[in-house]
Amino acid sequence: MFTVNELAARAAAPPHVVRYYARIGLLKPRRHQENGYRLFGKQDARRLRFIRLAKRLGFTLSEIRQITEHADHGQSPCCEVRKIIQLRIQENRAKIDAMMSLQHRMESALELWESMSDGIPDGHQVCHLIESFEDGLYENIEAATTEELS
């Protein structure tokens, strides 16, 4: 049996993480009768290792709970795991695409702004560089970049 600190050291995890997982029910320690300490067994060490691996793959604690509950009831969670990871891959690709688009816009804007002078706010504008996008320059940047990529 391991205390919180011993289990944390074995798993290279902070003790507060072990306590949190126990508090939310992902780990199920026993209580020492004399001092009330939480005691963890080898199964808890394996479960903690599993949780950390699943977190590294992008699973949420809620999803990990669902997966472990299937396993605890003798059901294979593998089909659900595949579905979750496929969804996560699609979500990540969409985020990457959005970030690449943002990066491209930022680089294009900076390139355009290099040829523009600094402006002083006049009560009608805050920063004419950013506000230049409102005047259709954004579309010109996009069109010019598309032509360059072709």
In this prediction, what percent of the chain has a pLDDT beyond 90? 53
The pLDDT of residue 80 is: 94
Domain that holds residue 115: 83-149
Closest CA to 4 of 45, 52, 61: 45
Q: What global pTM score does this model have? A: 0.69
**49-87: pLDDT as tens digits:** 999 999 999 999 999 999 999 999 999 999 999 999 999
DSSP 46-89: HHHHHHHHHHHTT--HHHHHHHHHHHHTT---HHHHHHHHHHHH
Residue 128 has pLDDT above 80, yes or no: no
pLDDT of amino acid 143: 60
User: Is residue 11 located within the same domain as residue 67?
Assistant: yes
Instruction: Decide which of 75, 98, 113 is a domain's last residue.
Output: 75
Which of 32, 52, 75 corresponds to the end of one domain? 75
Q: Mean of the per-residue pLDDT values for the chain? A: 86
pLDDT bin (cut points 50, 70, 90) of residue 100 is very high
Final residue of a structural domain among 39, 59, 75? 75
- For the chain, the domain total comes to 2
CATH number at residue 61: 1.10.1660.10
